[in-house]
């Protein structure tokens, strides 16, 4: 640890996601040397990942090089490296490229897909957590239609053209809506010889409603809209098994499918398992209200990786605003610690939730108001455009959205991998 009044303290942040970048921004110009480490050289705007998966956006439009984001931060440097472990006593982060010492550590490594121990599902289903997942999913869906073109057996053809989405949260709803629009507005022109009435989109949700956590009125509106778009929504439907031919529900009903997408849950990343302290829900690291690791006040954990409070405290949702607000507080608490002041506790300010369903259709609860339809859709577009980092990315997304809206086309229908 750096000691002495003249010695600048070092802050190491693991993860250049929503939480990690907020810490960096708020420590800009502070009397500390900040190193942000990520296994990727870019920040990923995860909320639009489903649009890459459904041929609506190029991968490049939702990613921004971290070094570009940090250009104006003189006290911050970036290290491209995968963190494999952390030594809390020795105060070093261990990477494949060597050790990085720290005075303060912020763990903000996000989450990974949670298959809840269903190994067959993990083998067969496709998750959606990074750009590779999204591009591979797009490839897979488009390839299934190419195979359907030459398939003579009608049952197998129907299976190839069936997509099962597991998980009726915002991502599942948005994916189902986007795939339904692809089926309606684009595929009939690309595959004019195929009977697309056999192309099914099935959305499975284990609970008795879609969009858990949203107000009932918006849940009902989303359900009605998806059914109007011919998405087969099945509530209280739990997947028990999967094989390359599709999934089997808990009651034994088989659902043949060419593509199975699993967006039913997330858990803390493997790095969290290596932290030798107690874990909360979904393997998230338990931290106290000031976001500090119990027994290690110089270590903070935030975002998807953290569970604030005791094991019985309801965890915060795995959402970007939580990570961002926690990142802001950690930066403030580091500054306060340096000034000899006590750290402040985290209080989440929930400003709302929203999900888009399709063209001119979304649901949103913002500042206590519930809106649906066109207004919610406009709100969704605006919020995501403003939220996206980088002028170039905003422009790319805006151009793509305008193109998709006015031509009913999806420009990125590329199969890139064999």
Distance of CA 144 to the CA centre of its chain: 25
Considering only residues 384 to 403 of the shown chain, the ones binding ligand FAD according to CB under 6 A are: none
Instruction: Tell me phi and psi for residue 348, to 5 degrees.
Output: -75, 125
Tell me the Ramachandran region of residue 154: left when phi exceeds 0, alpha when psi lies from -120 to 50, beta otherwise: alpha
**168 binding ligand FAD? (CB under 6 A):** no
3-state helix vs strand vs coil in the chain, percent to 5: 40, 25, 35
Pair type for strands 201-205 and 163-166: parallel
Residues 364, 371: contact at Cβ < 8 Å? Answer: yes
Residues 397, 385: contact at Cβ < 8 Å? Answer: yes
Stretch binding ligand FAD (CB under 6 A), from 184-192, 195-203, 313-321, 405-413: 313-321
**Which of 282, 317, 287 lies closest to 300, judged by CA?**
287
Stretch binding ligand FAD (CB under 6 A), from 154-162, 198-206, 222-230, 303-311: 303-311
Distance of CA 402 to the CA centre of its chain: 24
Which residue number, 19 or 372, has a Cβ lying nearer to ligand FAD?
19
Helix (H, G, I), strand (E, B) or coil at 320: helix
Q: Shortest distance, CB of residue 61 to ligand FAD, whole angstroms?
A: 15
**300 binding ligand FAD? (CB under 6 A):** no
Residues 102, 12: contact at Cβ < 8 Å? Answer: yes
Instruction: Tell me phi and psi for residue 88, to 5 degrees.
Output: -70, -35
Q: Shortest distance, CB of residue 359 to ligand FAD, whole angstroms?
A: 18
Which residue number, 22 or 410, has a Cβ lying nearer to ligand FAD?
22
Which residue number, 37 or 211, has a Cβ lying nearer to ligand FAD?
37
The catalytic position among 135, 151, 174, 181 is: 174
Which residue number, 161 or 293, has a Cβ lying nearer to ligand FAD?
293
Which residue number, 212 or 256, has a Cβ lying nearer to ligand FAD?
212
Which residue number, 46 or 239, has a Cβ lying nearer to ligand FAD?
46
| Residue 348 CB burial class (10 angstroms; 0-12, 13-18, ≥19) | middle
Give the whole-angstrom CA distance, residue 2 versus residue 33: 11
168, 170, 283, 358: which one contacts ligand FAD (CB under 6 A)?
170
Helices and strands, counts by H and E, the chain:
13, 25
Is residue 155 annotated as part of the catalytic site, yes or no? no
Considering only residues 36 to 95 of the shown chain, the ones binding ligand FAD according to CB under 6 A are: 37-40, 46-47, 49-50, 82-83
Stretch binding ligand FAD (CB under 6 A), from 18-26, 292-300, 336-344, 393-401: 18-26
Stretch binding ligand FAD (CB under 6 A), from 178-186, 300-308, 328-336, 404-412: 300-308
By annotation, the residues acting in catalysis are 174
Binding site for ligand FAD (CB under 6 A): 14-20, 37-40, 46-47, 49-50, 82-83, 108-110, 128-129, 170-171, 269, 271, 303-305, 318-321, 323
């Amino acid at each position: 640890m750096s000691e002495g009044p003249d010695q600048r303290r070092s802050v190491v942040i693991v993860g250049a996601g929503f939480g990690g970048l907020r810490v960096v921004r708020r420590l800009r110009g502070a009397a500390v040397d900040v190193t942000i480490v990520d296994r990727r050289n870019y920040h990923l705007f995860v909320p639009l990942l489903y649009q890459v998966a459904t041929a609506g956006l190029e991968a490049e439009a939702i990613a921004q090089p971290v070094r570009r984001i940090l250009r104006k931060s003189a006290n911050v440097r970036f290290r491209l490296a995968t963190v494999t472990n952390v030594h809390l006593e020795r105060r070093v982060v261990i990477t494949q490229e060597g050790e990085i010492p720290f005075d303060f550590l912020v763990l903000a490594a996000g989450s990974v897909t949670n298959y809840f121990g269903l190994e067959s599902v993990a083998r067969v289903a496709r998750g959606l957590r990074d750009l590779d997942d999204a591009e591979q999913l797009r490839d897979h869906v488009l390839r299934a239609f190419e195979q359907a073109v030459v398939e003579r057996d009608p049952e197998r053809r129907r299976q190839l053209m069936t997509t099962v989405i597991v998980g009726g949260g915002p991502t599942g709803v948005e994916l189902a809506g986007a795939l339904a629009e692809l089926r309606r507005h684009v595929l009939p022109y690309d595959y004019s010889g195929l009977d697309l009435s056999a192309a099914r989109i099935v959305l499975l949700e284990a609970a008795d409603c879609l969009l858990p956590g949203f107000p009932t009125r918006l849940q009902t509106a989303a359900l009605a809209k998806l059914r109007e778009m011919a998405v087969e929504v099945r509530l209280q439907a739990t997947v028990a098994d999967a094989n390359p031919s599709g999934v089997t529900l808990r009651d034994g009903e088989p659902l043949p499918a060419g593509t199975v997408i699993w967006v039913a849950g997330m858990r803390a990343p493997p790095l969290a398992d290596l932290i030798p302290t107690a874990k909360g829900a979904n393997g998230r690291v338990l931290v106290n209200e000031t976001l500090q690791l119990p027994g290690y006040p110089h270590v903070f954990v935030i975002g998807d990786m953290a569970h604030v409070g005791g094991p019985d405290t309801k965890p915060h949702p795995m959402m970007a605003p939580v990570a961002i607000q926690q990142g802001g507080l950690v930066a403030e608490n580091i500054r306060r610690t340096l000034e000899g002041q006590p750290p402040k506790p985290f209080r989440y300010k929930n400003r709302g939730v929203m999900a888009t369903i399709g063209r001119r259709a979304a649901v949103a609860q913002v500042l206590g108001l519930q809106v649906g339809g066109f207004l919610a859709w406009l709100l969704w577009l605006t919020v995501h455009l403003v939220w996206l980092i980088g002028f170039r990315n905003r422009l790319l997304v805006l151009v793509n959205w305008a193109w998709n809206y006015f031509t009913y086309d999806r420009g990125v229908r590329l199969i890139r991998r064999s």
